Protein backbone atom coordinates (compact mmCIF):
# COMPACT_ATOMS: atom_id res chain seq x y z
CA UNK A 1 0.00 0.00 0.00
CA UNK A 2 1.45 3.37 -0.93
CA UNK A 3 0.77 6.81 0.46
CA UNK A 4 1.12 8.33 -3.00
CA UNK A 5 -0.73 11.59 -3.47
CA UNK A 6 -4.39 10.97 -4.06
CA UNK A 7 -6.91 13.57 -5.11
CA UNK A 8 -10.00 13.31 -2.92
CA UNK A 9 -13.16 13.92 -4.97
CA UNK A 10 -14.11 17.01 -2.96
CA UNK A 11 -16.75 18.12 -5.42
CA UNK A 12 -19.83 17.17 -3.41
CA UNK A 13 -23.54 17.98 -3.60
CA UNK A 14 -26.52 17.57 -1.28
CA UNK A 15 -28.90 14.78 -2.28
CA UNK A 16 -32.25 13.34 -1.25
CA UNK A 17 -32.67 9.72 -0.13
CA UNK A 18 -31.50 7.71 -3.17
CA UNK A 19 -34.12 5.02 -2.49
CA UNK A 20 -37.37 6.89 -1.80
CA UNK A 21 -36.59 10.54 -2.59
CA UNK A 22 -37.26 11.90 0.92
CA UNK A 23 -35.37 15.19 1.40
CA UNK A 24 -32.19 14.97 3.50
CA UNK A 25 -33.56 17.74 5.76
CA UNK A 26 -36.40 15.45 6.82
CA UNK A 27 -34.01 12.87 8.26
CA UNK A 28 -31.88 12.74 11.37
CA UNK A 29 -28.13 13.30 10.92
CA UNK A 30 -26.84 10.05 12.36
CA UNK A 31 -23.13 10.88 12.04
CA UNK A 32 -21.45 14.14 11.05
CA UNK A 33 -18.82 14.03 8.31
CA UNK A 34 -15.45 12.57 9.30
CA UNK A 35 -12.83 13.15 6.61
CA UNK A 36 -9.08 13.57 6.68
CA UNK A 37 -7.80 14.05 3.12
CA UNK A 38 -4.19 13.78 4.31
CA UNK A 39 -4.75 10.18 5.41
CA UNK A 40 -6.49 9.05 2.24
CA UNK A 41 -4.54 7.14 -0.31
CA UNK A 42 -5.55 5.55 -3.57
CA UNK A 43 -7.07 2.60 -1.73
CA UNK A 44 -9.87 4.76 -0.36
CA UNK A 45 -12.25 3.62 -3.09
CA UNK A 46 -11.11 0.02 -3.27
CA UNK A 47 -13.13 -2.81 -1.80
CA UNK A 48 -11.94 -4.88 1.17
CA UNK A 49 -8.98 -2.63 2.06
CA UNK A 50 -7.84 -1.52 5.53
CA UNK A 51 -10.70 0.64 6.79
CA UNK A 52 -9.87 4.29 7.35
CA UNK A 53 -12.88 4.97 9.58
CA UNK A 54 -13.69 8.06 7.57
CA UNK A 55 -17.12 8.74 6.16
CA UNK A 56 -19.45 11.33 4.69
CA UNK A 57 -22.19 13.06 6.67
CA UNK A 58 -24.79 10.31 7.08
CA UNK A 59 -28.53 10.95 7.26
CA UNK A 60 -31.13 8.36 8.33
CA UNK A 61 -34.21 8.32 6.09
CA UNK A 62 -37.37 8.42 8.25
CA UNK A 63 -39.39 6.73 5.48
CA UNK A 64 -37.33 3.78 4.18
CA UNK A 65 -34.61 3.39 6.89
CA UNK A 66 -31.69 3.98 4.49
CA UNK A 67 -28.59 5.67 5.93
CA UNK A 68 -27.24 7.86 3.14
CA UNK A 69 -24.45 10.35 2.47
CA UNK A 70 -25.56 13.92 1.92
CA UNK A 71 -23.66 15.77 0.68
CA UNK A 72 -22.05 13.07 -1.45
CA UNK A 73 -19.35 13.24 -4.14
CA UNK A 74 -20.62 14.22 -7.59
CA UNK A 75 -20.99 11.48 -10.20
CA UNK A 76 -17.96 12.31 -12.32
CA UNK A 77 -15.59 12.76 -9.39
CA UNK A 78 -16.75 9.38 -8.13
CA UNK A 79 -16.21 7.67 -11.48
CA UNK A 80 -12.64 8.96 -11.58
CA UNK A 81 -11.99 7.81 -8.00
CA UNK A 82 -13.14 4.28 -8.82
CA UNK A 83 -11.24 4.08 -12.09
CA UNK A 84 -8.01 4.85 -10.24
CA UNK A 85 -8.73 2.93 -7.05
CA UNK A 86 -6.06 0.48 -5.87
CA UNK A 87 -6.70 -3.23 -5.61
CA UNK A 88 -5.05 -5.66 -3.22
CA UNK A 89 -7.78 -8.07 -2.19
CA UNK A 90 -7.53 -11.01 -4.55
CA UNK A 91 -7.47 -13.72 -1.90
CA UNK A 92 -10.47 -12.26 -0.05
CA UNK A 93 -12.36 -11.91 -3.31
CA UNK A 94 -11.96 -15.67 -3.88
CA UNK A 95 -13.32 -16.48 -0.42
CA UNK A 96 -16.25 -14.07 -0.83
CA UNK A 97 -17.08 -15.49 -4.27
CA UNK A 98 -17.27 -19.03 -2.93
CA UNK A 99 -19.52 -17.92 0.00
CA UNK A 100 -21.85 -16.19 -2.50
CA UNK A 101 -21.74 -19.22 -4.78
CA UNK A 102 -23.05 -21.30 -1.86
CA UNK A 103 -25.96 -18.89 -1.39
CA UNK A 104 -26.76 -19.19 -5.07
CA UNK A 105 -27.14 -22.97 -4.95
CA UNK A 106 -30.86 -22.78 -4.11
CA UNK A 107 -31.50 -20.02 -6.65
CA UNK A 108 -29.99 -21.56 -9.77
CA UNK A 109 -32.59 -24.35 -10.25
CA UNK A 110 -35.41 -21.73 -10.13
CA UNK A 111 -33.95 -19.56 -12.91
CA UNK A 112 -35.07 -19.67 -16.55
CA UNK A 113 -33.19 -22.34 -18.51
CA UNK A 114 -31.66 -19.95 -21.05
CA UNK A 115 -30.10 -16.48 -21.02
CA UNK A 116 -26.98 -14.67 -19.89
CA UNK A 117 -25.68 -13.71 -16.46
CA UNK A 118 -24.48 -10.18 -15.69
CA UNK A 119 -22.24 -9.38 -12.69
CA UNK A 120 -22.33 -5.66 -11.86
CA UNK A 121 -19.17 -4.62 -9.96
CA UNK A 122 -17.32 -7.78 -10.96
CA UNK A 123 -13.98 -6.79 -9.36
CA UNK A 124 -11.29 -9.24 -10.46
CA UNK A 125 -13.91 -11.64 -11.83
CA UNK A 126 -13.78 -14.13 -8.93
CA UNK A 127 -17.59 -14.53 -8.93
CA UNK A 128 -17.66 -15.00 -12.72
CA UNK A 129 -15.35 -17.98 -12.13
CA UNK A 130 -17.84 -19.37 -9.57
CA UNK A 131 -20.75 -18.84 -11.99
CA UNK A 132 -18.86 -20.79 -14.61
CA UNK A 133 -18.50 -23.64 -12.11
CA UNK A 134 -22.29 -23.52 -11.70
CA UNK A 135 -22.56 -24.26 -15.41
CA UNK A 136 -23.32 -20.78 -16.78
CA UNK A 137 -21.50 -19.98 -20.01
CA UNK A 138 -22.95 -16.69 -21.30
CA UNK A 139 -21.26 -14.39 -18.74
CA UNK A 140 -20.71 -10.62 -18.70
CA UNK A 141 -18.95 -8.65 -15.94
CA UNK A 142 -18.86 -4.88 -15.47
CA UNK A 143 -16.14 -3.24 -13.38
CA UNK A 144 -14.94 0.38 -13.42
CA UNK A 145 -11.68 -0.09 -11.44
CA UNK A 146 -8.65 -0.57 -13.70
CA UNK A 147 -6.57 -2.11 -10.91
CA UNK A 148 -9.25 -4.73 -10.17
CA UNK A 149 -9.37 -5.56 -13.90
CA UNK A 150 -5.60 -5.87 -14.02
CA UNK A 151 -5.81 -8.46 -11.20
CA UNK A 152 -8.32 -10.65 -13.09
CA UNK A 153 -7.34 -14.17 -14.13
CA UNK A 154 -6.54 -14.30 -17.86
CA UNK A 155 -9.38 -16.80 -18.42
CA UNK A 156 -12.10 -14.49 -16.99
CA UNK A 157 -10.63 -11.10 -17.99
CA UNK A 158 -12.16 -11.16 -21.52
CA UNK A 159 -15.62 -11.47 -19.93
CA UNK A 160 -15.31 -8.16 -18.02
CA UNK A 161 -16.01 -4.74 -19.54
CA UNK A 162 -14.48 -1.63 -17.98
CA UNK A 163 -17.80 0.06 -17.26
CA UNK A 164 -20.82 0.50 -15.01
CA UNK A 165 -24.39 -0.60 -15.82
CA UNK A 166 -26.13 1.95 -18.04
CA UNK A 167 -29.69 1.97 -19.34
CA UNK A 168 -29.80 0.95 -23.01
CA UNK A 169 -26.54 -1.00 -23.07
CA UNK A 170 -28.30 -4.38 -23.22
CA UNK A 171 -31.54 -5.43 -24.86
CA UNK A 172 -34.53 -6.08 -22.54
CA UNK A 173 -34.57 -9.65 -21.23
CA UNK A 174 -30.92 -10.31 -22.19
CA UNK A 175 -30.12 -11.95 -18.81
CA UNK A 176 -31.64 -14.59 -16.53
CA UNK A 177 -29.54 -13.54 -13.53
CA UNK A 178 -27.96 -10.23 -12.54
CA UNK A 179 -25.62 -10.17 -9.53
CA UNK A 180 -24.54 -7.09 -7.62
CA UNK A 181 -22.23 -8.11 -4.78
CA UNK A 182 -20.86 -5.65 -2.22
CA UNK A 183 -21.43 -2.92 -4.80
CA UNK A 184 -24.81 -1.29 -4.06
CA UNK A 185 -23.34 0.87 -1.26
CA UNK A 186 -20.95 2.40 -3.79
CA UNK A 187 -23.48 3.46 -6.41
CA UNK A 188 -24.36 7.11 -6.80
CA UNK A 189 -27.89 6.17 -7.86
CA UNK A 190 -28.76 2.63 -6.73
CA UNK A 191 -32.43 2.96 -7.77
CA UNK A 192 -31.57 3.71 -11.41
CA UNK A 193 -29.04 0.85 -11.47
CA UNK A 194 -31.58 -1.64 -10.10
CA UNK A 195 -34.32 -0.39 -12.43
CA UNK A 196 -31.89 -0.97 -15.29
CA UNK A 197 -31.13 -4.45 -13.93
CA UNK A 198 -34.88 -5.17 -13.81
CA UNK A 199 -35.18 -4.12 -17.45
CA UNK A 200 -32.40 -6.38 -18.73
CA UNK A 201 -33.75 -9.42 -16.85
CA UNK A 202 -36.11 -11.93 -18.39
CA UNK A 203 -39.47 -12.50 -16.76
CA UNK A 204 -38.81 -15.14 -14.11
CA UNK A 205 -35.18 -14.03 -13.78
CA UNK A 206 -33.59 -12.75 -10.58
CA UNK A 207 -31.34 -10.06 -9.16
CA UNK A 208 -28.90 -11.36 -6.51
CA UNK A 209 -27.62 -8.70 -4.10
CA UNK A 210 -25.16 -8.88 -1.21
CA UNK A 211 -24.51 -5.88 1.03
CA UNK A 212 -23.78 -4.85 4.61
CA UNK A 213 -26.62 -4.79 7.14
CA UNK A 214 -26.18 -1.68 9.26
CA UNK A 215 -28.73 -3.01 11.75
CA UNK A 216 -26.96 -6.34 12.30
CA UNK A 217 -25.80 -6.95 15.88
CA UNK A 218 -22.08 -6.64 15.13
CA UNK A 219 -22.50 -3.32 13.37
CA UNK A 220 -24.77 -1.95 16.08
CA UNK A 221 -22.27 -2.97 18.78
CA UNK A 222 -19.32 -1.40 16.98
CA UNK A 223 -21.24 1.76 16.08
CA UNK A 224 -19.03 4.21 14.28
CA UNK A 225 -16.02 1.90 14.69
CA UNK A 226 -17.58 -0.62 12.33
CA UNK A 227 -15.68 -0.84 9.02
CA UNK A 228 -18.98 -0.26 7.19
CA UNK A 229 -18.69 3.45 8.03
CA UNK A 230 -16.34 4.28 5.23
CA UNK A 231 -15.82 6.97 2.63
CA UNK A 232 -16.46 4.46 -0.15
CA UNK A 233 -20.04 3.87 1.05
CA UNK A 234 -22.59 6.40 -0.17
CA UNK A 235 -25.45 4.54 1.50
CA UNK A 236 -25.89 1.73 4.00
CA UNK A 237 -28.84 -0.64 4.05
CA UNK A 238 -30.95 -2.53 6.57
CA UNK A 239 -33.37 -5.31 5.62
CA UNK A 240 -36.18 -2.73 5.36
CA UNK A 241 -34.31 -0.26 3.14
CA UNK A 242 -32.96 -3.00 0.83
CA UNK A 243 -36.48 -4.35 0.46
CA UNK A 244 -37.76 -0.84 -0.33
CA UNK A 245 -35.07 -0.35 -3.00
CA UNK A 246 -35.88 -3.64 -4.72
CA UNK A 247 -39.64 -3.02 -4.73
CA UNK A 248 -39.21 0.50 -6.09
CA UNK A 249 -37.00 -0.89 -8.85
CA UNK A 250 -39.92 -3.11 -9.94
CA UNK A 251 -39.11 -6.43 -8.26
CA UNK A 252 -41.92 -8.33 -6.55
CA UNK A 253 -40.98 -11.54 -4.78
CA UNK A 254 -38.07 -10.39 -2.62
CA UNK A 255 -36.27 -12.91 -0.39
CA UNK A 256 -33.83 -11.60 2.21
CA UNK A 257 -31.39 -13.56 4.35
CA UNK A 258 -28.51 -12.91 6.70
CA UNK A 259 -25.51 -15.16 6.26
CA UNK A 260 -22.06 -15.95 7.58
CA UNK A 261 -18.85 -15.09 5.79
CA UNK A 262 -15.80 -17.30 5.50
CA UNK A 263 -12.46 -15.48 5.25
CA UNK A 264 -8.83 -16.03 6.25
CA UNK A 265 -7.93 -14.92 9.78
CA UNK A 266 -5.73 -12.10 8.51
CA UNK A 267 -8.67 -10.54 6.69
CA UNK A 268 -10.90 -10.57 9.78
CA UNK A 269 -8.10 -8.80 11.56
CA UNK A 270 -7.93 -6.14 8.86
CA UNK A 271 -11.57 -5.33 9.56
CA UNK A 272 -11.20 -5.33 13.35
CA UNK A 273 -11.68 -2.01 15.18
CA UNK A 274 -8.00 -1.64 16.11
CA UNK A 275 -5.37 0.93 15.14
CA UNK A 276 -3.78 0.47 11.72
CA UNK A 277 -0.30 -0.05 13.10
CA UNK A 278 -1.54 -2.62 15.65
CA UNK A 279 -3.37 -4.46 12.88
CA UNK A 280 -0.40 -4.52 10.53
CA UNK A 281 1.76 -5.89 13.36
CA UNK A 282 -0.75 -8.59 14.26
CA UNK A 283 -1.29 -9.60 10.64
CA UNK A 284 2.47 -9.91 10.09
CA UNK A 285 2.74 -12.00 13.29
CA UNK A 286 -0.07 -14.32 12.15
CA UNK A 287 1.57 -14.76 8.77
CA UNK A 288 4.94 -15.51 10.37
CA UNK A 289 3.23 -18.10 12.56
CA UNK A 290 1.73 -19.59 9.41
CA UNK A 291 -1.91 -19.19 10.52
CA UNK A 292 -2.89 -15.97 8.69
CA UNK A 293 -4.49 -18.01 5.93
CA UNK A 294 -6.58 -20.23 8.23
CA UNK A 295 -10.21 -19.70 7.22
CA UNK A 296 -12.84 -18.81 9.80
CA UNK A 297 -16.60 -18.43 9.40
CA UNK A 298 -18.27 -15.57 11.30
CA UNK A 299 -21.60 -13.74 11.23
CA UNK A 300 -20.50 -10.17 10.52
CA UNK A 301 -23.68 -8.56 9.48
CA UNK A 302 -24.07 -9.17 5.77
CA UNK A 303 -27.36 -9.32 4.01
CA UNK A 304 -28.29 -11.18 0.83
CA UNK A 305 -31.38 -10.66 -1.32
CA UNK A 306 -32.81 -12.53 -4.25
CA UNK A 307 -35.42 -10.43 -6.05
CA UNK A 308 -37.47 -11.90 -8.87
CA UNK A 309 -38.71 -10.23 -12.02
CA UNK A 310 -42.26 -11.54 -12.01
CA UNK A 311 -43.73 -13.75 -14.67
CA UNK A 312 -46.84 -12.22 -16.30
CA UNK A 313 -50.05 -13.40 -14.57
ZN1 LIG B 1 -35.72 6.80 1.97
Residue 51 has pLDDT above 60, yes or no: no
Q: Output the CA 104–ligand 1 centroid distance in Å.
A: 28
Q: Output the CA 278–ligand 1 centroid distance in Å.
A: 38
Tell me the pTM: 0.84
pLDDT of amino acid 126? 94
Q: Output the CA 15–ligand 1 centroid distance in Å.
A: 11
| CA angle (159 as vertex; 151, 305 as ends), nearest 5 | 90
pLDDT of amino acid 3? 38
Cα–Cα distance measured from residue 255 to residue 305, given in angstroms and rounded to the nearest whole number: 5
109: exposed, middle or buried (C-beta count within 10 Å: 0-12, 13-18, 19+)? exposed
Is residue 208 one of the residues assigned to a domain? yes
Distances (CA, A) of 78 to 7, 66, 209, 232, 257: 11, 20, 21, 9, 30
pLDDT of amino acid 276? 75
Is residue 187 one of the residues assigned to a domain? yes
Share of the chain above pLDDT 90, in %: 54
Note the pLDDT tens digit of each residue in 96-114: 898 899 888 889 999 999 9
Q: Output the CA 67–ligand 1 centroid distance in Å.
A: 8
pLDDT of amino acid 2? 39
Q: How many domains does the chain have?
A: 1
Task: Give exposure, 118-149, as e/b (b: 16+ Cβ within 10 Å).
Answer: bbbbbbbbbbbbbbbeeebeebbbbbbbebbb
Is residue 58 one of the residues assigned to a domain? no
Beta bridge partners of 261: 298
Range of the domain at 94: 89-308
Is residue 26 one of the residues assigned to a domain? no
Q: Output the CA 18–ligand 1 centroid distance in Å.
A: 7
Residue 40 has pLDDT above 80, yes or no: no
Is residue 216 one of the residues assigned to a domain? yes
CA-based R_g, the chain, Å: 19
SS3 content of the chain, % helix, strand, coil (to 5): 35, 25, 40
CATH code of the domain containing 218? 3.40.50.150
Q: Output the CA 29–ligand 1 centroid distance in Å.
A: 13
Is residue 37 one of the residues assigned to a domain? no
Is residue 73 one of the residues assigned to a domain? no
Q: Output the CA 214–ligand 1 centroid distance in Å.
A: 15
- Dmax (CA) of the chain: 60
User: How are beta strands 139-142 and 116-120 bridged, if at all?
Assistant: parallel
Note the pLDDT tens digit of each residue in 113-127: 999 999 999 999 999
Q: Output the CA 256–ligand 1 centroid distance in Å.
A: 19
Q: Which residues contact 31 (CB under 8 A, 6 or more apart)?
A: 55, 57, 58, 224, 229
Cα–Cα distance measured from residue 119 to residue 261, given in angstroms and rounded to the nearest whole number: 20
Q: Output the CA 26–ligand 1 centroid distance in Å.
A: 10
Q: What is the mean pLDDT of residues 6-30?
A: 86
The secondary element (H helix, E strand) that includes residue 240 is helix 239-248
pLDDT of amino acid 238? 96
Cα–Cα distance measured from residue 49 to residue 155, given in angstroms and rounded to the nearest whole number: 25
Nearest in space to 264 (alpha carbons), one of 131, 105, 90: 90
The answer to which of 42-51, 142-151, 156-165, 269-278 has the lowest mean pLDDT is 42-51
More confident site: 275 or 255: 255
Share of the chain above pLDDT 70, in %: 81
Q: Output the CA 290–ligand 1 centroid distance in Å.
A: 46
Distances (CA, A) of 138 to 61, 94, 104: 39, 21, 17
Is residue 102 one of the residues assigned to a domain? yes
Per-chain mean pLDDT for the chain: 85
Q: Output the CA 243–ligand 1 centroid distance in Å.
A: 11
Residue 298 has pLDDT above 70, yes or no: no
Residue 252: asked if its preceding bond is cis (omega within 30°), the reply is no
Q: Output the CA 68–ligand 1 centroid distance in Å.
A: 9
Q: Output the CA 241–ligand 1 centroid distance in Å.
A: 7
Residue 312 has pLDDT above 60, yes or no: yes
Residue 203 has pLDDT above 80, yes or no: yes
Euclidean distance between the first and the last CA atom of the chain, given in angstroms as a whole number: 54
pLDDT of amino acid 43? 55
Amino acid sequence: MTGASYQLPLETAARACPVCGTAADAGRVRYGERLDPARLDRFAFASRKLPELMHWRLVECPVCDLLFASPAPAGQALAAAYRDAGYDSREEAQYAASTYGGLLREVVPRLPAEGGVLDVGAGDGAFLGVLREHGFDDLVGLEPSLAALAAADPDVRPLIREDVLRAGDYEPGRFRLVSCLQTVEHLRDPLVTFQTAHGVLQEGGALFVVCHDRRAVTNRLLGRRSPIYDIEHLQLFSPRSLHALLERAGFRDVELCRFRNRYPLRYWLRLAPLGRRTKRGLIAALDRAGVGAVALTLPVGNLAAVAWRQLPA
